[in-house]
Amino acid sequence: MASAKDLSSKYSGNPIVDLNSGVTAAPSAKALLEQRSFDSITDIADMNSAKAVMESHSAKSVYRNTWISENLDRVNLTMPKGKKEQVKAIADSVGMSVNAYINLAIDERMEKDANDN
């Protein structure tokens, strides 16, 4: 495996050195793209591919987080130690996720309480 110094030299000729710690590291994909310092077409293709993957993951994360914030409410649920495993086991046994199982239990209890009043 190439050292960070070897990788850095391959791409830019100048290792990236953290002046505080003196640690030498290979440049990131972003740094390489900004420097436009490549040895071959393969290096360019690798960097473009990495950039596309990073942008795709970022766009998906933004979309997912936006959808969640606009459509769902979050609740931080705490329970006694060990109960989470019990809930998971029962939810699994009926083919449900823990989230779906807890939501069903809440819905059933709310319906019961509404009918009792």
pLDDT tens digits for range 36-84: 555 555 665 666 676 776 777 787 888 888 888 999 998 999 999 999 9
Domain assignment present for 78: no
Structural domains in the chain (count): 2
Asked if 39 and 11 touch (Cβ cutoff 8 Å), the reply is yes
For residue 7, what are its two tokens? 């990788």
62 & 12 share domain = yes
pLDDT in tens, 88-106: 999 999 999 999 999 999 9
pTM above 0.75, yes or no: no
Q: How would you class 29 by CB atoms within 10 Å of its CB: exposed for 0-12, middle for 13-18, buried for 19 or more? A: middle
34 & 56 share domain = yes
DSSP string, 42-79: HHHHHHHHHHHHHHHHHHHHHHHHHHHHHH--------
Q: Which domain holds residue 90?
A: 83-116
10 & 54 share domain = yes
